Amino acid sequence: FTIDGHAEVEITHSTDIKSFTISPKRRNQPAVSDGNKLRFSVDGWGNWTMKINDDIFLLFAHTPEQDAPLPHAPEVHNIVTEYGADPTGKTESTQAIQRAIDSAAADESVRIVYVPDGVYSSQILFLRDNVTIYLAPNAELQGRDLTYKRPTGHKNGFLQIDNCMNVALRVY
């Protein structure tokens, strides 16, 4: 998400929180858990990793992006207008988002996947070489029912970036 100052963060886990850690630990990030919710505040940009029970969550907070792509510009693959993703989060959008990623990877002139404001429910997504995903300021990707199993020795994750080059996740 984009931040220009202070923000309150709330993460809702699928089960009650028994344990959690927030990294980087050098920030000594105070947090409170209550049932299945973890709450804390951030001041300024940064990246955080939260381990809640045995699950990993990533949080990226950046200053506002300059020269961000427009949602309907010809140089973007818009997951809603072109691929039918549901911005309400009520319907799973995995196939629409993955089609946009795959199309951007195959399109030598348009390598940007645009995620407009909204909540997008998705299972695991596989990123591809030379693709940039832009998240609008109020866009939220929610991992749901992550049933894909990685090979032994690897962790499961929502965004798979295995064997990829030149991949970016941008937030503005």
The 10s digit of each residue's pLDDT in 71-108 is: 778 888 999 999 999 999 999 999 999 999 999 999 88
Residue 168: closest CA among 126, 91, 109, 112 = 112
Residue 10: closest CA among 39, 31, 45 = 39
pLDDT at 51 over 60: yes
pLDDT at 50 over 60: yes
The encoded tokens of residue 55 equal 């699950």
The 10s digit of each residue's pLDDT in 139-172 is: 888 877 655 454 444 455 677 777 888 888 776 6
Its pTM surpasses 0.75: no
What's the confidence (pLDDT) of residue 146?
Answer: 53
pLDDT at 67 over 70: yes
CA distances from 161 to 104, 109, 114 (A): 15, 21, 18
